[in-house]
Structure 1
C-alpha cells in the first residue's frame, strides 16, 4: 500500500515537472522571439 502511494506521488511529480518544462520552454520561446526579431 505504501509503495503504491509512493510510486503514485512520484508519477505525479514527474508529470508536473515534464509539464512545467514544456510550458516553460514555450514561454521562453515566446519571450525571446521579439528580442531576436
Structure 2
C-alpha cells in the first residue's frame, strides 16, 4: 500500500481499521482559497 502505517508495522501486527477524512473537513480551506482568489 505504501502508506506510513504499512512501513512501521512490526511482524505479526495488522491494521484493524482505517478511514479517510470526509470532504467537509476541508470546507474552510476550500472556502479560504476561493475568497483569496476573488481578491
TM-score by length of 2: 0.38
Give the number of the structure whose residues are more often helix, by fraction. 1
Whose Rg is larger?
Answer: 2
